[in-house]
Amino acid sequence: MKYVLLGTLSVDWAGKQTERTAKARAKLEKLGIKLESIHYTQGPYDFVDVVDAPDAEVMLAFSVWYAAQGLGRIQSLPAFDSQTFESAVRQASTG
């Protein structure tokens, strides 16, 4: 399942980019989450990533780990492809 991660950086880790990303990548790999893209942003979130995770529990585990490490906070949003969305619309309109 694909997820969009909306993340913030803690003040303590904002200047330690190399160390923070190495820790996060290692944990993603250990949990079987594939990092597909990384985008740094301005505004309420510092980054937006797209990942492919085996299941929601693994994604939750990463989010909890990230916060527990003091790296920042992550919101994970399930991301559906257009075929899945179109199927859901058809199902919602029948019956």
Angle (CA) 33-34-38 rounded to 5° is 115
Confidence of residue 95 (pLDDT cuts 50, 70, 90): low
Q: Note the pTM of the prediction, 2 decimals.
A: 0.87
The pair phi, psi for residue 40, each rounded to 5°, is -95, 140
Return the CA Rg of the chain.
15
Note the pLDDT of residue 80.
94
Position 94 scores a pLDDT of 80
Residue range 23-70, pLDDT digits in tens: 999 999 999 999 999 999 999 999 999 999 999 999 999 999 999 999
CA dist., res. 26 & res. 64, Å (int): 15
Q: Which CATH class is domain 2-93?
A: alpha beta
Question: What's the rounded Cα separation, in Å, for the pair 22 and 87?
Answer: 38
Task: Please give the order of strands across the beta sheet that includes 47-52.
Answer: 34-40, 47-52, 2-9, 72-79
Sorted by where each begins, the domain ranges of the chain are: 2-93
Decide which of 36 and 17 is more confident: 36
